[in-house]
Each structure stands twice: as C-alpha cells, then as structure tokens.
Amino acid sequence: MDSICCSQNDFKSACSRFPSGVTITTVMGEGGLPYGITVSSFTSVSLSPPLVLVCIDQRSPVLQHIEVGKHFGINVLAAHQQELSIKFSRDRNDRFSGIQWSAGQTGVPLLSDVLASFECETVQMLVGGDHWILLGKVLHANSQNGEPLIYVNRCYACAKELQAG
C-alpha cells in the first residue's frame, strides 16, 4: 500500500515554525585543513553515555572528511554570530578564511567566542532520506553565558526578540 507524503513546501513551512539553535559542525581534513558547515539539525540524545546527533545534507563536501571512529566538533553560535552562520552555509572552500579558531583536545576545529562547543567521536552514520545522521559520543564540552542565535520562520533571531514578539 502506497502512503501519501506531504509536499516539500508544506513540510519545510511546518518545520520552519520550530525554533532551533544554529551550530557549525567542524572537522579536520586529512591534509590538516579545517572544514565546517552550518547545521540547525542538532540535538542531545543521551546523558549516559553523552551522545548528540547532527544531520548533514548528503551533498555536503564536509561529509567526505567525517568517518566512524574519527572526531568532529559542534559549535553553538551566539546571537551576534549570524554572519558566521551565513559564511559557513555557503558552498565555498574558504569558509575558515579570516575566522578565529583553535584545535580542540581531539584536534577538531573549535570556533572562537561561541556559546558552547562539543568535541565528539563519530559513533554511527545513518542515511536519513537526503541527509546523513551523525551520532557522536561527546568527549569534551565547554559553554559560556550569552544569548543564542536562533533560526525560526526562515529568519535569524535571538531569544530576546522571540520573547518580545
């Protein structure tokens, strides 16, 4: 029995009503070059062990540098980092040009001045439609106070704007 599926436009419109934080997933490539991509599909999965997941479009060149047993980073953006999100969402090779970052304890690129960062070991990679679902075990995590960058209704916002609206 064939099931009826909603249209992509209806699905995207409904999903856009759910506010999500904005992150940049990063990885160190084989040649010692950093790679990263803006990702809003990020969530915690488990406390024991600490697990998170991110979803990345199968067309992303970042995926060729992510492997099971290797490491990747997740950088949670602050409200003032909208331009950083835009830069890392473009299909460009120079995403790290002019960007301050440092290598984490696992060697993954961690961006400066973010609200939180996670260093993860890739535990599993699953195909989910047109995306890869990456399950990562969190090896190190850091955070600081501040307002998060939020994406809702296909626009950037911060928590204060949502409360006032």
Q: 51-60, 64-73, 89-98: which has the minimum mean pLDDT?
A: 89-98
Question: Does residue 126 lie within any of the structural domains?
Answer: yes
Q: Give the H/E segment covering residue 84.
A: helix 82-89
The residue range of the domain holding 150 is: 8-164
pLDDT tens per residue, range 118-127 = 999 999 999 9
| Number of separate domains in the chain | 1
The pLDDT score that the predictor gives to residue 50 is 98
| DSSP 8-state assignment for residue 78 | B
Question: Does residue 2 lie within any of the structural domains?
Answer: no
**Mean pLDDT value of segment 53-74:** 93
**Mean pLDDT value of segment 127-146:** 97
Question: Does residue 82 lie within any of the structural domains?
Answer: yes
Question: Does residue 3 lie within any of the structural domains?
Answer: no
The position carrying tokens 């960007």 is 99
Q: Tell me, what CATH number does 145's domain have? A: 2.30.110.10
- DSSP codes, 10-71: HHHHHHTTS-EE-EEEEEE-TTS-EEEEEE--EEEEETTTTEEEEEEETT-GGGGG--TTSE
| DSSP 8-state assignment for residue 3 | P
